[in-house]
Amino acid sequence: MSRQLHISARGLEHGSDDAAVSPAPAAVFSSVTVAYGRRRRARVALADFTLRIARGETLAFVGPTGGGKTTALRALAGMVVARHGSVSFGDPVHVVESPSATRISKDSPILVCTGDSPSVVDDVAALRRTHPSSTIVFAPGDPTDALSVADRVAVISEHRLVDVGTPGELWDHPPSTFTARFLGDANLIECAVGRVYGASAVVSVGQRMLSAVAYPTTRGHRWTPGAAAFVCIRPYDIEVCAASAAGATTARIIDTRWRGASTRLTLAVDGLPDQPVIADVAGRAMYRPDTSVGVKFPAHSCVLVPRT
């Protein structure tokens, strides 16, 4: 099923100063708030949502269930009305519920995929091939599906836009603790920034010093000595080895869970008494609780994230 929204592009001609220095966007959310119910008892579904959608990009809305991503998609599709703010369009919108069962014009500029089936990522990939110049917006049920097909990802939680960036930006150097945890179950280890050398830094973690990547974030945050931060490292990047291995930190196994292709270990790392660390090792690893192992945190896999 699909339907066409014929919306004039005039709403973007004089909308903002940056419209004069950058290509006209396909659509713009301007401080959009969507709420249901009477004012005093209104339930906010989307709050102060501002986002520019570029022409020709594939954009994914991701976030927890009930966090606002579906409402943002429905606002773009014209299915809900904003209580405050506005959605402006530079191109007409074509709402698609089931791309595989819909005949879509080759010149459809904005395709909003409202379906939430597990196959939506395959549908979007097919649309990218058949409509390479169209703008495509969708909200996958599994956020990792967005990484393979989206040009940009908008992370939405508690009805607000948290972060937006390319899949690589959000995965490799997440701008916030929420995005780090939501995309990939990252460990976030408290640290203090020491010396900073360009895009690298030395940080103190408990009684240890580690090297970490210190990219400026997509929010423009830059690192300075003494700043409080988190070291972000994903479970599969932690090296588990013998406790006696050179350069390793001793850890005690708290719990193991076999997950088919890998085994997830929960570890108590020396020097981090109150912060369990999660590590994934390939295959079915036969570790028993209270076993001592060694762990290593490769510098290229440790990325600084602001304490937000």
- Confidence (pLDDT) at 88: 96
pLDDT in tens, the chain (308 residues): 444 443 434 445 434 444 444 678 999 999 999 999 887 788 999 999 999 999 999 999 999 999 999 999 999 999 999 999 999 999 889 898 766 555 676 667 899 998 777 788 888 999 999 889 999 999 998 999 999 999 999 999 999 999 999 999 999 989 999 999 999 899 999 999 999 988 899 999 988 899 999 987 656 678 889 989 999 999 999 999 999 999 999 999 999 999 999 999 999 999 887 889 999 999 999 899 999 999 999 999 999 999 87
CA distance 113 to 120: 8
CA distance 267 to 263: 12
Give residue limits of the domains in the chain: 2-172, 187-306
Please give the model's pTM, rounded to 2 decimal places: 0.86
191 burial (CB, 10 Å; 0-12 / 13-18 / 19+) is buried
- Answer whether 2-172 and 187-306 agree in fold: no
| End-to-end CA gap in the chain | 42
**pLDDT tens for residues 272-300?**
878 899 999 999 998 999 999 999 999 99
Longest dimension (CA), the chain: 68
- Confidence (pLDDT) at 107: 67
Contact 207, 215 (CB under 8 A): no
**What is the secondary structure of 71-86 as a DSSP string?**
HHHHHHTTSS--SEEE
Residue 169 parent element (H or E): helix 167-172
Tokens of 307: 């304490």
CA distance 88 to 151: 21
The CATH topology of domain 187-306 is OB fold (Dihydrolipoamide Acetyltransferase, E2P) (2.40.50)
Contact 144, 66 (CB under 8 A): no
- Confidence (pLDDT) at 206: 82
- Confidence (pLDDT) at 14: 35
Q: Residue 162: helix, strand or coil by DSSP? A: strand
CATH says 2-172 is which class? Answer: alpha beta
Residues 6+ apart with CB under 8 A from 226: 192, 193
- Confidence (pLDDT) at 253: 97
